[in-house]
Structure 1
Amino acid sequence: MPVRPRLKPIAVVRRPAEVILVGRAMQLTYLADPDGSVAALLQVLAQGAHPVAGLPAAMRERGFTVTEADMAAAVAALDEVGVLLRADTDAGLDPDTLRRHESNLRFYDLFAGLQRPGAAFHRAMRDADVLLLGAGGMGSGVLQSLVGLGAGRVRLVDFDVVEEKNLSRQFAYGRADVGRAKADAARDWAARYSPGTTAVEAVRERVADADTIRRLGAGASVVVCAIDSPNDVHLLVNEACFELGVPFVTGGLQYSTLFYWSVEPGVSPCRLCLELNRADEGAAQQVEQTVMMSADFVNRATGPVAQLLAGFVALEAGRYLTRTDPPVAAATYHTFDLADAMRMTVEPWPHNPGCPLC
């Protein structure tokens, strides 16, 4: 069946001899329109009623004579700037899914086009298999987002139990869960919240080495690391994910700085690259230093902080799962300083030529 292009619900501004399309992130596209034919075409496309072959007849009804080749070129150009959808962008999704995931589908419209409809992004999320290490402040928040997005399966790994202090920032748990294994309580929350949406497998196990992560991550589409122990856990996940061939995303809070980043094996520099780069820089500086006092670990993650971090990490994981757009944090530290007016920094790190993984 021929594709029927439809204009996305964007603002269109008419000026003398030109039209302005206001697209993503206030992206402005200026189109010369001395005779009004472009404005007429946009009005036709907003209806989403015609395949390209039917556009010349629709334009004739508005007083313009164009060829099918003209229309094909115009549609291709508009699709290139990201302002067109397929009129049947949700085709193939059942009524329950359309109701349950309406806002998710409209989010995917931002990235959909004539070649890939919004429904395809949802199906990619539905087919996802996520290994989520940790069900604490960040991990439980990521789980909530994944369930909301309709991720197909989450293997949730955590060894801790719910404590009363967790209730200030871990909103998958209630007072009745205190003393229960976090993995079990979070699994039960998902089943109550949206039955039939996401299959959550609870694994009560401590992550101690790369072999454990490789075993737990077999078949995963992405790994989310929401644990901070052992101390070298990021390097362990990095090693395991390279062998598995799957990306991973992580984040955390260090003193007053919230951060997140990701690694895509074989594409981006890896976490080991960062460690090797730091070692090279330290050797080059040759500064003698001694740690006088080590900072004690204090969890300062309030509810809003945990939610903010979980949101950024879940969005990055979603980019890997659906490929709406390229991952923004691949080998790139994104930081937000909570005690410095939310100052944001974005710092990529390069490949290290001596990295044995890359």
Structure 2
Amino acid sequence: MRPQLKPISVVQRPAEVILLGHALEATYLDDEDGSVSTLLQVLAQGSRTVAELPAAMRERGFEVTEADMSAAVGALDEVGVLLRAGADAGLDAATRRRHESNLRFYDLFAGLERTSADFHRAMAAADVLLLGAGGMGSGVLQSLLGLGVGRIRLVDFDAVEEKNLARQFAYGRDDIGRNKVDAARDWAARYSPGTVVEAVHERVSDVASLVRLGAGASLVVCAIDSPNDVHLLVNEACFELGVPFVTGGLQYSMLFYWSVEPGVSPCRMCLELNRADEGETMPELSTQAVVLPAGRVNRATGPVAQLLAGFVTLEAGRYLTRTDPPVAAGVYHTIELADGMRTTRAPWTRHPRCPLCDRTRGA
């Protein structure tokens, strides 16, 4: 194995080296004799194994042992600035060309143990149940295809309408009147035939159908808002399937997204029970009468739908590849479109009487 320094900025100051990797993150290393900056220059070439590093350093005037180099490489890998050189070569040439930008994104999270190619293989092996082919769902479909996910089972019951063309870019005028899932499947086959897309023209109604549709899935993305309790249905089905799910939507002018990992994070039922407890401690809420209920109006323009699909797909990608921990597991994320794009994060806790989480509490 040949360790290689990631393409990060390295700043040298008297007796010190600064590694500038992730935004707003810097690593400071003592470098009294210049050996650290020299080692970094050697590692940037990515052409030597750890056993070959002492000779390369000796050529530059520094006497070090292989144990020294092993310790230094381990420390640099620990702070996330090393890659395994040549790891992409394990992928075929067509895959490397097609997924170049994806691989370079994975570099942010890769190290000597797990490579960018490994993250891509995890995505290529993934099987996603995608509920909904509307604004958010079609955007998620497009993003998952771009990432090279292996298989998608796409479920929707609607047909393409002219109004959909404002924000659902998997469809064109020739698709008006067709079942969305069929039109989306055909678009996907033209765009990225490496992903298998199965079209299911079906209305989701209960947990049993969700379990059936999700058989073999690695993850569920919920991009539908009916029936009214759909999130609770998907939540329960995902406990049966043993897979995480991600969802999101638009409420008036506020984007939201969150996820659940059964047995790990608080679940959607926990949120429901927590809200019920809050209602008991605040009885004034139950006595309030709704004079005018909010109408169901779809304000999701193209950019809004793409933004939401991006956040949801990024969270889905964290589960599918485990690049880094999910950021929305049991955490309600919001972006207020009509208030300066103000963002909030609101975590919720496991409820002690949640019947679903209780099954996994001792696991």
TM interval, short-chain normalised: over 0.9
Listed as ranges, the gaps of 5+ residues in structure 2 are 358-363
- Counterpart mapping for 1:130-279 below 5 A: 130-195=128-193, 197-279=194-276
User: What secondary structure does 2:106 align onto?
Assistant: helix
C-alpha deviation, 1:52, in angstroms:
0.7
Tell me, what secondary structure is at the counterpart of 1:123? helix
User: Aligned equivalents of 1:6 and 1:14: distance in 2?
Assistant: 19
What are the equivalent positions in structure 2 for 1:50-89 lying under 5 Å apart?
50-89=48-87
- The AA in structure 2 aligned to 1:85 is L
Alpha-carbon distance between aligned partners in 2 of 1:70 and 1:92, rounded to the nearest angstrom: 29
Q: Within 1, Cα distance between the matches of 2:10 and 2:87?
A: 21
Q: How far 1:72 moved relative to its partner? A: 0.6
TM-score, structure 1 as length reference: 0.98
SS of the equivalent of 1:14 reads strand
Matched residues in 2 for 1:68 and 1:328: separation? Answer: 39
**How many Å separate the matches in 2 of 1:286 and 1:144?**
45
Determine the C-alpha separation between the residues in 1 that align with 2:158 and 2:142: 18
**Which residue is equivalent to 1:349?**
348
* Superposed displacement of residue 292, structure 1: 1.9
Q: Which residue of 1 aligns with 2:39?
A: 41
Q: How big is the shift at 1:25?
A: 2.0
Partner secondary structure for residue 90 of structure 2:
coil
Distance 2:21 2:167 in 1: 36
Aligned length: 355
SS at match of 1:228: coil
Shift of 1:129: 0.2
RMSD: 0.6
1:29 Cα deviation after fit: 0.3
More moved, 198-207 vs 83-92: 83-92
Match of 1:29 among 15, 27, 30: 27
Q: Distance in 1 between matches of 2:24 and 2:33?
A: 26
Task: Tell me how far apart the structure 1 counterparts of residues 14 and 23 of structure 2 sit (CA, whole Å).
Answer: 24
Letter in 2 for 1:241: C
Q: Which runs of 5+ in 1 are unaligned?
A: none
- For residue 89 of structure 1, report the CA deviation from its aligned partner: 2.2
Structure 1 range deviating more: 245-254 or 291-300: 291-300
**Corresponding residue for residue 360 of structure 2:** none
Between the aligned partners of 1:323 and 1:89, the Cα distance in structure 2 is 18
Task: Answer yes or no: is 1:311 the counterpart of 2:310.
Answer: yes
State the TM-score, normalized to the length of structure 2. Answer: 0.97
